[in-house]
Amino acid sequence: MTELLQKVRVIDPVSEIDELLDVLIADGYIQAVASHISDISSDTQIRDCQGLVLGPGLVDLYSHSGEPGFEERETLLSFLQAAAAGGFTRVSILPDTSPVIDNPALVAQLQQKRRGEMKEMREKEKINLAPPVSPLPLLHIWGAITLDVAGKQMTELADLAAAGVVGFTDGKPLENLALVRGVLEYLQPLGKPVAFWPSDRQLTANGVMREGSDALRFGLPPIPASAETTAIAAMLELVATIGTPVHIMRVSTARSVELIASAKAAGLPITASTTWMHLLLDTKAVKSYHTSLHLDPPLGNSRDVAALRAGVRAGVIDAIAIDHTPYSYEEKVQAFAEAPPGAIGLELALPLLWQYLVESREFTALELWRALSSSPAKCLGQKVSAIAPDQPAELTLFDPQQTWKVERKSLYTLSQNTPWLGQQLKGHVVQTWC
């Protein structure tokens, strides 16, 4: 099908443009981009896109899939459908499934599963058993650094690289610095990204909330900011010594942003990301004791949030990750400190970030879209195509004014662990091309 999107607001961080244009799409490619396109075939579907935003498909650096092993939380299909509904055309799953993604066979199995789900969906569309849907995102898989993500013994990293993993991470803190050093030395010739979550678990102890006056007021065990910053400092020393590029996950404190900025200024080969919820909420939100606000690392204070936002805008923090973490209702209905940390986010991140950062004019639309698309792709060693003629149509069409209610029937994800459940949101993805 050939489609002409008329008067759509094109936000392209690759070409650095934000303007109203016509975009012609056919056979999976962008055919033309201009202020006005009139030379079209008779079978072209014309869509009035005034008020809509068109940008490169969003890219998620890391999230959790329930399948395999925890299908009651999330199946691979529901995970991918939620990502598509949220505007993502590429997603990368962490290896802490059951079994853990620490061998090539499971990598192949998951990719085959994704292809099978896509084929089945298209077959149902052909015989009118299902409405047309956006295509499932491309699935990238992080390979585990250590067997069973236990932090003790390295996996066969070269075999996993050959199997096509996007990169390596445990998605958990690795506190054995001798092991970390060995991993950095071993991975140098493989040319794959490696991501670490720096966190000193001895300093974290049994804490569940950022240390400070709010933790005292709410009566919750505190986690000092130094649990993160000391681990980041140690990681930066290893990178400075060995030289292997590293991605630092889940940055959550103001001091961490300062350390990363200094390291980048000194020329260290690092990238960094924070999660979308750490940009929106601070410790005061925990007053509700909603267990979906129990995150790891915990929400920061207002100074942390301001520093993270400034870090993203300046490029010190390269990307915004979703870190989608589904849990069943039973798992989350506990006391705040007892509930497992994490929240869903694939379908919620873009609308909420746009509403609170772009509409407030704290971020430009280009700054937000860059941090959700081309920058995370770069962290993965990938590229995002410009919105230009002859480029693949990997795109997201977003309506920033459409309102919808976050409830079970409006979500593709199987889990409901979000503090926004039951609330009205403004902003909804209309379609993706992949």
Active site residues: 323
Around Cβ 377, how many Cβ atoms within 10 Å? 21
| Measured distance CA(69)–CA(340) in Å, rounded | 17
- Burial status of residue 131 (CB atoms within 10 A of its CB: 0-12, 13-18, 19 or more): exposed
| Measured distance CA(45)–CA(42) in Å, rounded | 9
Query: CA triplet 126, 132, 137: central angle to 5 degrees?
Result: 110
Joined together, the tokens standing for residue 90 give 């590429």
Q: Which value, in Å, is the radius of gyration of the alpha carbons in the chain?
A: 21
DSSP designation for 341: S
Half-sphere exposure at residue 180, Cβ-oriented, CA atoms within 13 angstroms? 24
- Burial status of residue 234 (CB atoms within 10 A of its CB: 0-12, 13-18, 19 or more): middle
Residue with tokens 């620490």: 102
Q: Are 374 and 414 in contact (CB under 8 A)?
A: no
List C-alpha distances in Å: 329 to 256, 324, 339, 343.
Answer: 33, 15, 10, 12
